[in-house]
Amino acid sequence: MLAAASPSLWGQLAAAIPLALLATLSPTSVAVVIWYLGLESPRRLAIAYLGGAFLITALVAVATLVLLQGTQTVPHHHPTPSGAVDIVLGVALLGTAVALARHKPEQRENETTKERRHHPKGAFVLGVLMWTPSLAYLAALKLVSDANAGTASTLVASLVIIACVLLVIEVPIAFYFFYPDRTRVRLEAFHEWLHRHGRTILTWGLAAGGVFMVVHGIVVASAG
C-alpha cells in the first residue's frame, strides 16, 4: 500500500512556530540575561550563555529528527507520520499545563552558582543546563519532521524553530550591541511583565498546544 502524501513543510513550520515560542517564555532566562548584561564583560558572557543554549537545542533537534525520520535518505518515501507520537506529546503538554497551574515552584540560586556564572565557561554550561529540551520544543520538531522534506529544507526549518526558542536571549543581546542602556531598561520592564503574566500565558499556551497535538495526532492516525 502506498504511503499517504506528506504535509507541506512550510505549513508544518507555521504550526510549529507558536509551540517554539512557548518554549522561550521563561522569566528565569530573562533574569539571567539581565544579570549578564549588568556585569563588566556582558557581551562575552551573554554570548557564551547563548552558545550553550544553542548547542543543546541544536543537538536535540538533530537527535530528534534522526530518531523520527530514521536513516532513510529519500525524503518523499517515508511512511505516514505517526499520529500516536503527536497524541502522546499532546497529552504530556496538557499534563504540564495542569501541573503548572497547580504548583508554583520557587527557584533560588546559591552564591557558588552565581560565582561560576561570572566565567564564560560557566555561562556556557549554564546555557546548556537551562535550555534542555521542553515538551513544546519537541512537539515543534515533531511537526517539522512530519513533512519528510529534504535535508536542506528541514535544516532551514529547524534553524527557524531554534531561533524562535532562543528569542528571549537573541533579541536582547542583539539590541545591547547598539543600545546598551535602553536595552537593560526595556529588558527589566519585560522581565517584570513576564513575571506577572508569563505563567498564565504559558499555561494556556501549553493547554492549547496540547489540544492541537492531540487533534492533529487523531487526524493523522485516521488518515493513515
Region of 69 (left: φ > 0; alpha: ψ -120 to 50; beta: rest) is alpha
- Mean pLDDT computed over 179-205: 88
What count of residues does the chain have?
Answer: 224
Q: Which residues contact 177 (CB under 8 A, 6 or more apart)?
A: 43
- Mean pLDDT computed over 140-153: 90
Helix axes 151-165, 167-176, angle to 10 degrees: 70
Mean pLDDT in the chain? 83
Residue 116: all three cell numbers together: 561560576
Report angle CA 202, 208, 211 to the nearest 5 degrees. Answer: 140
CB 73 within 8 A of CB 147: no
Position 1 pLDDT exceeds 60 = no
Q: How confident is the model at residue 78 (pLDDT cuts 50, 70, 90)?
A: very low
How many CA within 13 A on the CB side of residue 54? Answer: 12
Query: What is the tens place of the pLDDT at every residue in 25-64?
Result: 888 888 888 888 888 778 888 999 999 999 999 999 999 9
pLDDT at 20: 93
CB 42 within 8 A of CB 36: yes
Position 149 pLDDT exceeds 70 = yes
Tell which residue, 155, 219, 210, 215, has the closest CA to residue 18: 210
- Return d(Cα 87, Cα 116) in angstroms, integer: 40
- Return d(Cα 216, Cα 83) in angstroms, integer: 7
Position 127 pLDDT exceeds 70 = yes
Residue identified by cell 511512511 is 79
DSSP string covering 1-65, please? -PPPPPPPHHHHHHHHHHHHHHTT--HHHHHHHHHHHTSSSHHHHHHHHHHHHHHHHHHHHHHHH
Segments in 23-176 forming alpha helices (H): 27-37, 42-69, 83-102, 111-116, 120-130, 135-146, 151-165, 167-176
pLDDT at 13: 93
Position 5 pLDDT exceeds 60 = no
Q: Which residues contact 170 (CB under 8 A, 6 or more apart)?
A: 50, 163
Query: What is the tens place of the pLDDT at every residue in 83-114?
Result: 888 899 999 999 988 988 887 655 554 443 44
Domain ranges of the chain: 9-82+108-184
Amino acid at site 209: G
- The model's pTM is 0.81
